[in-house]
Structure 1
């Protein structure tokens, strides 16, 4: 019996069918919008990524991403418009980096070109709602004065904190800061701590907004799962930091992936 057990354990150790499969590495990069269109609820100042200093940093960052070697790079671009992303990727050359400040260009496209990739992968899902005005109205109708005050204070504190960092930090420091545990927690907290409470007991406008945010990110994660092939052992995902904070929660319970931190890639 003991010999049979030892033989089984030996077989497990060498047989890939029995052995635990190696996790795929996912470089998850949460970022602020380099070209801030002012569409987010929080109004954050624009950081100049076109400066000589920032361009040198971007070259260094993308060289280190190349060294990490992701097989695919996923970006915040409407998944239904993959054909437009393909055309955009195919026609653009190095000169674009001096003209377009968008993070998808400066970080994702620049990295993909250095890696010799044929395309970027679009994973954004744009059909989820974000009824912020209805959320505030729901608080007012429910006379949730403390919650209204808390929401305003949180938003003001977040804007102040981010704008102070933009004035003080280098681009590399800003990107690393976007991916800290503190920043990720802050990005998720508002949804459950504030937004989810909004409305009267028979009005779930807050919970609806939160559920739509979860849905958008869950659909995006679904696309990552579907588009990652067996042969892909490393991938990179570049999204707004609010999205990556949510994806971290999904990946935590998905045994297929392990997160590689940006700060470790940049060492």
Structure 2
């Protein structure tokens, strides 16, 4: 009897992964995801450039440095890699003041502190098209419209409370918690009900979100090398996908960011 032939999927697994060599053991890639609010959207009463907030960010970056990342991946589009590399070089030379966004305040700052020669741009933009869904729901499924606006209003109220009373590290501890991430994903799953059985319009933005995040994850795979320790700094809306994809990848290990976010500065 002829020996069993590996299933097609197994053959592809051994042939397609960039750093997996058939018949050899490779070091896994450890990946830690820091999901964050967009610093540029912080309320005026929690101004990122204020002295207190700058101290909080520096303390948080010191904690994150204990992960000892070998690469830092940021929410810059991959097509802008050369421009980002040039800007980071200027920063390393001491000729660039960090702007109010998490890519620079956390990403550039930490990479510079660790003397990294570059940061990694892995983003891919794709419209998610929620407006047609809401327009259709307004005429046909008002219950979803009410749910969605209630969900957004609750988010806004929660964010206002957090920004008034919590440090940046404490805010991000919540933003990276399972209940917070589940809340976002449940809203996506509710979106699938819009147009179900008719035009299925609710599927479109969710499919677009998945495709965008798979493309970003493919960019992450492309930069990963055996033994790497990669920190991803991204909007928290991506965190559910990154965590899932990392956990399901045969050569990656997800590192819990929570233990690196324990605030060195207590609540305000």
Aligned twin of 1:243:
238
1:40-189 equivalent positions in 2, closer than 5 A: 45=43, 47-93=46-92, 94=94, 96-97=96-97, 100-126=99-125, 128-141=126-139, 143-189=140-186
204, 228, 235: which one pairs with 1:233?
228
The CA deviation string for residues 102-140 of structure 1, in whole angstroms up to 9 with x for no partner, is: 1111100000001111111111111x2211210101212
How far apart are the structure 1 equivalents of 2:209 and 2:100?
A: 26
How far apart are the structure 1 equivalents of 2:183 and 2:254?
A: 19
Say yes or no: does 1:202 pair with 2:207. Answer: no
The CA deviation string for residues 123-174 of structure 1, in whole angstroms up to 9 with x for no partner, is: 1111x22112101012123x21211211111111111111211111111111
Unaligned runs of 5+ in 1: 1-16, 37-43
The CA deviation string for residues 24-57 of structure 1, in whole angstroms up to 9 with x for no partner, is: 2211100000112xxxxxxx73532222222222
Residue 24 to residue 188, structure 1, CA distance change in 2 (3 Å): same
Alignment TM-score, normalising by the size of structure 2? 0.82
Aligned residues: CA RMSD: 2.2
Q: Is the 8 A contact 1:138 1:200 kept in 2?
A: no
How far apart are the structure 1 equivalents of 2:25 and 2:259?
A: 25
Unaligned runs of 5+ in 2: 1-21, 263-268
The CA deviation string for residues 145-204 of structure 1, in whole angstroms up to 9 with x for no partner, is: 2112111111111111112111111111111111111111112111112x1111263312
Q: Is the 8 A contact 1:30 1:241 kept in 2?
A: yes
Residue 200 to residue 24, structure 1, CA distance change in 2 (3 Å): closer
Q: Is the 8 A contact 2:196 2:202 kept in 1?
A: no
Residue 108 to residue 133, structure 1, CA distance change in 2 (3 Å): same
Query: What is the Cα deviation at residue 63 of structure 1?
Result: 2.0
Aligned twin of 1:260:
255
Query: What is the Cα deviation at residue 21 of structure 1?
Result: 4.9
Secondary structure of 1:101 counterpart:
coil
Alignment TM-score, normalising by the size of structure 1? 0.83
Q: Is the 8 A contact 2:173 2:261 kept in 1?
A: no
Aligned twin of 1:41:
none
Matched residue count:
240
Residue 206 to residue 248, structure 1, CA distance change in 2 (3 Å): same
How far apart are the structure 2 equivalents of 1:64 and 1:158?
A: 27
